[in-house]
A and B are shown apart, each in its own frame.
Chain A
Amino acid sequence: MESFDIIIIGGGPAGLAAAVAAKEEGCNSILIIERDKELGGILNQCIHNGFGLHTFREELTGPEYAERYIERVKELNIEYKLNTMVIDINSKKQVTAMNKTEGHFTIQAKAIVLAMGCRERARGALGIPGYRPAGIYSAGTAQRLVNIEGLMPGKEVVILGSGDIGLIMARRMTLEGATVKLVAELMPYSGGLKRNIVQCLDDYQIPLRLSQGTEEYFSCDTLLLSVGLIPENELSQGLGINIEKITSGPIVNDQLETSEEGIFACGNVLHVHDLVDFVSEEASLAGRNAARYVIVSAEMRESLAKINLIELISGKGVRYTVPKYINPIKMDEVVTVRFRVDKVYREGSIRVTFDNNEVWKRRKKIMAPGEMEEVKIKRQDVMSESKLQNITIEIIE
């Protein structure tokens, strides 16, 4: 059986960054498996700009951002397979996949990075009643049709959901000739970034209607749904990995290691992100840790596994945290904890408590569920507390 030190499932932004980081950490046997015909994942269809401000200090389009990593993967001679679908991963870290040239095959890994991304919530999951006509697309499917194939699903468009993809598509459809009549949102606030509301809707006088409990009739030939993303964890579930209910992603420790030893997760398969820059950062961490896992001896791993983990508690106003656990011995100098708040907070504060001691508090002008928040946990702070069990993150109004 063919074998690699690290197999990365998915060649999108997360998989690419994980591969690059793993290679830079010293691992020379890496394979990326990508199901589509090119690397880059969803970035290939995100042709708008606004990517890379954090990572490259400049504003790039999706394909340009992806290309930076693809170039790096090629420079580093990292192996990848395209048009290859992973069918199964078992607990012995054997990955079974299928493609046109090799057929159905199994390869062995020492460590695995899950970077499969997410899928869009479909109409059925929302229980929208009515007929099942043509012209109802998830926003991402329409984005692919318009941006990759150059095809227009319709000319009179209504968009349900004000998530970023919906907002971006409102502008894209308008620019290519369509009329977007309305963006309707079920919640009292938009799930999209401010910048997108301004530049995708306001610029084109596209009305945004938030939850009002009223009924109105709009005729359209196209309905786009931008109603949420779901991490694609069917492969992870097959592995028996513990899944966090709120995120639908694996529960991970500060190494981004799942409940299965040596299996790491990053990007939208772990939790849905707003900015690709944070995906890259998170994925680099997963890639680095996968490389370290492969390099470190089995005895070392075992002794480290015995350390009592510190649990991160999602306090008031915090829906979830990634990671969920911190290993105080293994942890990096600084661990970034990412989370989402449960509603819009104006002039609220984020508070971090170690067991019962407040260690950090910061005021924020605004916090919204659509924008991911983060706090940094320092190793020196953790080490100075003996027998630390819980770290609570909460929002004070």
Chain B
Amino acid sequence: MKLLKIIARALVLPVLVLLTFLGVAFAITAAVPEYKDSAGDDNYTQKIRGLYLLGQSAAKSDNIIIYGSSELRTLEISTNPANFFAGKRAGFQVNLIGRGSCQSLTHAMSIAASGDSLTGGKVVLITSPQSYVKDGIAADLFMANFSAQQYLELMADDGLSPEIKKDISRRAAELLGQYKALHGSAGADNAVMYLAQHNANPGAISTLRNAVTAPYYSFMRYAYGLKDKAASGRLLESLREAEESAPLREIDWAREESAAIEEARLMTGNNDFGILDDYYTTYIGTRLGRQKDKDAGLDYSVSKEYGDLRILFEVCRQKGIEPLFVHVPLHGQWSDYTGFTAQRRQAYYENVKKIAEEYAIEILDLTGYEYEQYFLCDIMHLGWKGWLEVDKALVGFYNSR
């Protein structure tokens, strides 16, 4: 029995470590404050890589979740949904999720990992034309928003088909592999990369490796969840309490439009393209001459991003989500100047429309506004009148459900 005594003594330390861990886990979970709607007003990074805040927001019937990229950041424009619907003046709160490097695949993974919290919910998807270059999303950009937590969660979700899991795994493995090839092992998530490779293409060795490391991944799922809660808790802690909702009032769209145009006029004095003064000075300005015809060879007809868009729509379908897809136009006048012809632009618009039709996605087609002044606020992002159209659609979208 001496052996038992020795084993017992040896176990003291591991048991202590385990209890400490559980204690910390409990403390983190208990310390997360109540969800605040104001978390939706800005595209905080915790929302992009985590799942907790998404779930909390989705549980509220008056939240509309908007997945997008860099256009969400245009908070200096008053028609940006976060500003336009501040104080829930139309009866709902918008939740902006995404930033510059987020493209279809990133959003697909977030939705795929959301369990059933988004089912039947109000989700808006905005993708950028600039994503549709031949090679699709760059490995660096993908890595900037890649969430091992989301990947593990979606793989563990029995509600998703094996095919879609394989498709996502294939893309993730491809991009993670590219990132590792570029930057070496540092900063790359090799453990998840191997898992994705295995899920995309199981082999004998990878199956063995997967079996051995399965407990590790299970634990990591749990650990990531804790980390997410801790980060979300800290964010919620820092937000001010939600303001009292403003009383519901009919929106005078005509007046809003005039106000938007007026605001635009004030912010775009220094150029002929209707672009924000700051943007123009920083990115174009004296280099205007050099921009002429620089995109003569640009082509969006073939791109891996179309495949990623399909994945995004398929995930929505499997999750029972009927999203509103915003089809954003390019800046007609500017594109003509840089040599990206109307014909090629039209081809891109059609490609995306066809895919949306295939998946029976409700589409807000704004591509007819290519030449509308102040529709975009710079050469690619929705601006005063563009966001206003989206705002109109959001009210309709919310009330129709």
Are A and B subunits of one complex?
no
